[in-house]
């Protein structure tokens, strides 16, 4: 006996047209920023490493759209898109990448080591997986303080098999 096909009707989007356009603009800002950063890196204007976030714009845009004031964010070394999504000034991020004193870390952090207490952005970290235990600690701090904030630790597949990640997940689950 054949089963009846499920309805192809989709649930309506919970975001307004203006919100969706904002998400699109946010993703486009990240993409264009990263394209320019890649170009400057190729020209030797950005020293050290420059890990781009191209192709991942929707991840940070979608997650950040769910966060509220006071929630914390921490990530690895592909951090430019996260900073922009947290509301940091693109000119300040680019100044940091190019080693200028007007940068978010006064030009000393470069591509992988920016931070903003004001935006609850606890940095991009150059050690693979290092953000996971720090993010766990931020989550524990929220619990101990009794607030309803969350901590988001972004990490990629390269960090998913790091021992410190497993230890952090175990601690959080306990």
In a domain, 94, yes or no: yes
In a domain, 2, yes or no: no
| Alpha-carbon Rg for the chain in angstroms | 18
Whole-model pTM: value is: 0.86
Does residue 106 sit within a domain?
yes
Q: Going by C-beta distance under 8 Å and a sequence separation of 6 or more, which residues neighbour residue 131?
A: 74, 75, 76, 122, 123, 124, 125, 153, 154, 155, 159
Q: What is the pLDDT of residues 48-100, one digit of tens each?
A: 889 999 999 999 999 999 999 999 999 998 999 999 999 999 999 999 999 99
pLDDT at 1 over 60: no
Q: For the chain, what percent of residues have pLDDT higher than 90?
A: 67
Q: For the chain, how many structural domains are there in total?
A: 1
- pLDDT, one tens digit per residue, over 31-43 is 999 999 999 999 9
Domain residues for the domain of 81 are 17-173
Query: Which CATH number do you get for residue 49?
Result: 3.40.50.970
Determine the pLDDT at residue 13. 62
């Amino acid at each position: 006996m054949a089963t009846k096909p499920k309805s192809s009707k989709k649930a309506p989007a919970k975001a307004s047209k203006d919100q969706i356009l904002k998400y699109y603009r946010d993703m486009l800002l990240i993409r264009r920023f990263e394209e320019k950063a890649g170009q400057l890196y190729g020209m030797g204007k950005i020293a050290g490493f420059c890990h781009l976030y191209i192709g991942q714009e929707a991840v940070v845009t979608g997650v950040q759209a769910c966060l509220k004031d006071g929630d914390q964010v921490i990530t690895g070394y592909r951090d430019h898109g996260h900073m922009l999504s947290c509301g940091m000034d693109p000119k300040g991020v680019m100044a940091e990448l190019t080693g200028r004193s007007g940068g978010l870390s006064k030009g000393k952090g470069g591509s992988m080591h920016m931070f903003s207490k004001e935006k609850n952005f606890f940095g991009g970290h150059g050690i693979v997986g290092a953000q996971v235990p720090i993010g766990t600690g931020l989550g524990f701090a929220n619990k101990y303080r009794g607030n309803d904030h969350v901590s988001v630790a972004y990490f990629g597949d390269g960090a998913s098999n790091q021992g410190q990640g497993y230890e952090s997940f175990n601690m959080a689950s306990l």
